[in-house]
Chains A and B, each alone.
Chain A
Amino acid sequence: MSLLEVRAVDAQYGLLKAVRGVSLSIDDGETRALVGANGAGKTTLLRVIAGAHRPSAGSVIFDGADISRIPAYKRVGLGIALVPEGRRLFPGLTVEENLSIAGGRRVRGDWTVDRILEIFPMLQPRRTQRAATLSGGEQQATAIGRALMCNPRLLLLDEVSLGLAPKAVAAVYESLQGLIGSGTTVVIVEQDLGRALTVASHVTCMLHGAVVLDGEASAHSREQITAAYFGVRPASGVGADT
């Protein structure tokens, strides 16, 4: 059964259309890599799903219910959490505060500050430090931890490896593996195609705001995905508008 369904969503910034007629369906427990070049509309699509950006057309269905009109903070309660691009921690709050404020009206689930610190041991000594003083990798871990504190059924990860040292990227992906194993549905936006495909079961490729390739990761060769990524030629798949 699909946990998330995006139906013909258009999203724009003023006159600039960032997402055009995107439809996709993500099953419960699936890990979806959302790839594409800069400006393909990936971040905007995630923000539409999380409720931070109001689409100009189309609808978002989560767990069978239309959530298009539900504000972002209530979607968190339904089980949608976004790790935003660039971490976006609250810089003046400590690591512990950044974690503990998340989730609003507590959702059922068992994530606690202590458990987050357990899966990200590097944060343990930083617990009472202000987020602004953390390294990039530590900030990313805190940002993921903050999203986990919302006890998500659907975790949206936007560019988690951007600007991180290779070692920090490896650590972040290692902890993601654990999450994926535990059955959380994950949508991961990533520039690094190889990295994304190591964890993803399905892949969606966007180009100029539209989906140009969609399906099981194993069903497409690396070359096919790369071609779709750069819009080299119409890829096999759905909804091409190249």
Chain B
Amino acid sequence: MNWVNVLVQGVLLGGFYALLACGLSLMFGVMRIINLAHGDIAVIGAYLIWVLVNQTSIPPWLAALLVLPIMWVAGYAMYVLLLERSRRAGQLVPLLTTFGLAIVIENVLLQVFSPDDHSLLSSTGTLATSSISFGGLSISIFGILTLATAVVVLTGLQLFLSRTTSGRQMRATAEDPDIAELVGINARAVYAKATAIAVAIGALGGIFLAIRQTFNPFTGPTQLIFAFEAVVIGGFGSPWGTLLGGIVLGVAQVIGAQVNPQYFVLFGHLVFLAVLASPRVGLLSRRVHAL
């Protein structure tokens, strides 16, 4: 029974990682940019919600509704103002740009909010702490909500990419931007839109982050590592791969913690390294080209 519990907790944790990883995967899939500031973007989302909830005492879900469009616009601007220029300078430059952006974000947050830990836990009532019992298992309601959100977001993203004209244009641009322009697609606008979606979803992940744990200006990089591991395990650029990768990472970490509480992060890293060393990187990596 204990191991079933481990598995369930791992899957729920995996939902959180998948949500964080989703935007990272999208940006890589469409633009071949690894956004090293993704974790910090999630933390910005967390801070914005925290400020709104504390200043105006509106409920967190309403604050989220306000923050997501703001982050969408910020993502669009981030592409147009920063990434567009650095993309023109070569493949490595966007990586350096996002690395720099991460440092800037962390230090601005430090300047504005101090290094203190914050959390949204107190504003969410019993949601974050209540659980349901099921056949001897105790399942956190918030964990289910997180996983459900991840599934909804990833399904939505998959449907967007496969069913809408906008999404198909995004896949076409990902495969061949030069030709996409020649059939009437504004590749720059497509990239900006992909960044906007990625940043908004990243911020959504940040909201769940803020409820499940405390955060401070330097929480981002750790979250980035987990998200990155989820993406690599699942195979870059595939929404379902990202979900699977998140779940595999989550389960590995919980199994690690079961063996010894100190092995929590270690087991996740070991699975990540094992996938990297395997001949076919990423469980669903074939799908990279299908995105």
Taking beta carbons and an 8 Å cutoff, which residues of A are in contact with B? 50-52, 71-73, 76-77, 81-82, 84, 88, 90-93, 97-98, 100-105, 107, 146-147, 149-150
Contact = CB atoms under 8 A, between A and B. Distances in A.
A101 B168 contact: yes
A105 B17 CA distance: 37
Interface of B: 165, 168-169, 171-172, 175-176, 178-187, 289-291
B185 A90 contact: no
A93 B168 contact: yes
A52 B181 contact: yes
A105 B186 CA distance: 10
Contacts, number: 72
Q: Tell me whether chain A's interface is mostly helix, strand or loop, or mixed.
A: loop
A90 B184 contact: no
A76 B183 CA distance: 6
Given A91-B175, A92-B289, A92-B290, A82 B168 contact: no
A188 B119 CA distance: 65
A93 B172 contact: yes
A88 B184 contact: no
B183 A104 contact: yes
Contacts of A97: 168, 171-172
Contact of B179 (A88, A103, A104): A88
A120 B185 CA distance: 24
B183 A52 contact: no
A91 to B, nearest CB: 6
Contacts of A50: 182
Contact of A90 (B165, B179, B186): B179
A101 B176 contact: no
Most chain-A Cβ atoms within 10 A of its Cβ — which of B171, B179, B185? B179
Given A50-B182, A100-B168, 19 more contacts: A52-B181, A52-B182, A73-B181, A73-B187, A76-B182, A81-B182, A81-B183, A90-B179, A91-B175, A92-B175, A92-B289, A93-B171, A101-B165, A101-B168, A103-B183, A104-B186, A105-B184, A149-B183, A150-B183
